[in-house]
Amino acid sequence: MYKVKLYQYSIAFCLCLAVAGCKAPAAETASTSVPVPEAFGNIKSQDTTNISSLKWKDFFKDQNLVELIDIALKNNQELNMTLQEIEIAKNDIRVRKGALLPTVGVRAGAGIEKVGRYTSQGAGDATTEIKPGIEMPDPLPDYTIAAYANWEVDIWKKLRNSKKAAVNRYLATIEGKNFVITNLIGEIADNYYELLALDSQLEIVKQTIALQSNALEIVKIQKQAARATELGVQKFQAEVLTSKSLEFDILQKIKESENKINFLLGRYPQDIKRDKTNFTDLLPAAVNSGIPSQLLTNRPDVKQAELELVAAKLDVKAARAEFYPSLDISAAFGVQAFKPSYLFTFPESILYSLAGDLAAPLINRNAIKAEFSSANARQLQALYNYDRTILNAYLEVSTQLSKIENLQKGYDLKAQQVDALNKSIDVSNDLFKSARVDYFEVLMTQRDALEAKLELIDTKKEQLNAAVHVYRDLGGGWK
């Protein structure tokens, strides 16, 4: 009767543990922001044609640029560091997966024990015979060889949710790698077009120096003929020196751009192979932006933020399960004896055990509550980051599309300006030779023409970069 009541009390106590342990705070939730707009501008379109679907080797037509990108994808240190983050995340999955399985090991041990004679164990050993006429040794050696196992039964899916969270973080690191690739390709293209623009500007400056030097010789002849003064000569000389100084500034910028590209390619400085053709003849790639909702599936950073949000939600579930009772099962099987020769004397030397342990936190659960609150805060943080990433992606594309349109209009006007100034240079030179205008007008015309030509090159570079940026911002480059 006593044993039955004790068993009933034990069952009741375990139920109390379970009920008390199941009290867990509720998780906070937050809704996402407003949906993504239906179009990038005022004109709504359902055209899903999107340049981000193009592989980067098909998007870029310049073979020299393609070769540079190919080298960077193999050697870039930041990209290689990101690949190691993927390996770390993959190993974390193995850790979480291992927690679902029993831990099995082998243990071998030896020891010796001397207990007091006037103790229950000492008195019992002194009056016990191992075999007739053979007393218990004193002190008592102990030799053990056994296999043991421990297993936490995943009742509340705590371990499974942790593993799923690790899987989603692994997938997020892959998307992070894709995002690094997209930005790396865009950065190389930016610097490459910067290099081509500088080459073109250098050629324009050299042509301007030749033009100014020719004007300088003319004014020197006019001075000898008393048709010009020393002031005019010095003004033309100063203008030539200014242009030569600008030439060396551009040469330094070319070296800096080459070094930037070499750094992205993970190699020490060397010449960058490129075609020094007429830069203004290059045409930006055609842009098809598709619809904004495609950003959710094309942009690696958006997909990464989404996976991190899913992982954070699973972390909350795992942290909540800490409030519930946990069931641990342990077992052991082996041989044990006080003398090595008796270890394999069966069945006398056999040992085995099997135990189940049900435990639930009742008092002083502050650490568990703090971890749950932190997991919940990280979930909200991931949600806000997801919303922010989508908003940033939309605004980036919208900005670049507007920039492409405005740059085209600006480029057309600047091209007309350059054409007019080129004609004005010829006119001013002819008038100057015939002494119908003074040297100041010739200087200002040449200076304005040089500035306009350099600005035209900058505008062309921005056009080419804007097309690359749209391709990048739409999620292209990583495929």
Q: What is the DSSP string of 145-167?
A: EEEEEEEEE-TTSHHHHHHHHHH
Position 20 confidence tier, pLDDT thresholds 50, 70, 90: very low
Examine the pLDDT at 85 and tell me if it is beyond 70.
yes
The pLDDT assigned to 446 comes to: 83
Q: Which candidate, 434, 247, 296, 327, places its Cα nearest to that of 21?
A: 327
Examine the pLDDT at 279 and tell me if it is beyond 50.
yes
Examine the pLDDT at 26 and tell me if it is beyond 50.
yes
The pLDDT assigned to 359 comes to: 83
**What pTM value is reported for the model?**
0.84
The pLDDT assigned to 30 comes to: 54
- Measured in residues, the chain has a length of 479
**Residue 101: Cβ-neighbour burial (10 angstroms; 0-12, 13-18, 19+):** exposed
Position 413 confidence tier, pLDDT thresholds 50, 70, 90: very high
Coil, helix or strand at residue 276: coil
Q: Alpha helices of 348-436 — where are they, by DSSP H?
A: 366-433
Examine the pLDDT at 21 and tell me if it is beyond 60.
no
The pLDDT assigned to 403 comes to: 93
Pairing between β-strand 103-113 and β-strand 129-131 as defined by DSSP bridges: unpaired
Position 443 confidence tier, pLDDT thresholds 50, 70, 90: confident
If you average pLDDT over each of 8-12, 152-156, 309-313, 351-355, which comes out highest? 309-313
Least confident interval from 78-92, 359-373, 452-466:
359-373
The pLDDT assigned to 220 comes to: 85
The pLDDT assigned to 126 comes to: 76
Question: What secondary structure, in 3-state letters, does 189-237 show?
Answer: HHHHHHHHHHHHHHHHHHHHHHHHHHHHHHHHHHHHCCCCCHHHHHHHH
The pLDDT assigned to 82 comes to: 93
Position 23 confidence tier, pLDDT thresholds 50, 70, 90: low
Examine the pLDDT at 76 and tell me if it is beyond 60.
yes
Q: Which candidate, 450, 423, 424, places its Cα nearest to that of 206?
A: 450
Examine the pLDDT at 293 and tell me if it is beyond 80.
yes
Structure confidence by residue, pLDDT tens digits, 192-217: 999 999 999 999 999 999 988 888 88
The pLDDT assigned to 137 comes to: 81
Q: Residue 60's CB: how many other CB atoms inside 10 A?
A: 22
190 and 435 Cβ atoms separated by less than 8 Å: no
Examine the pLDDT at 339 and tell me if it is beyond 90.
no
Q: Residue 132: which residues within 8 A CB-CB, separation 6 or more?
A: none
Position 464 confidence tier, pLDDT thresholds 50, 70, 90: very high
Among residues of the chain, what percentage have pLDDT more than 70?
90
- In the block, tokens 């600008």 appear at 246
The mean per-residue pLDDT over the stretch 123-145 comes to 79
- Average confidence score pLDDT of the chain: 86
Position 9 confidence tier, pLDDT thresholds 50, 70, 90: very low
Examine the pLDDT at 233 and tell me if it is beyond 90.
no
Coil, helix or strand at residue 32: coil
The pLDDT assigned to 46 comes to: 72
301 and 393 Cβ atoms separated by less than 8 Å: yes
The pLDDT assigned to 438 comes to: 67
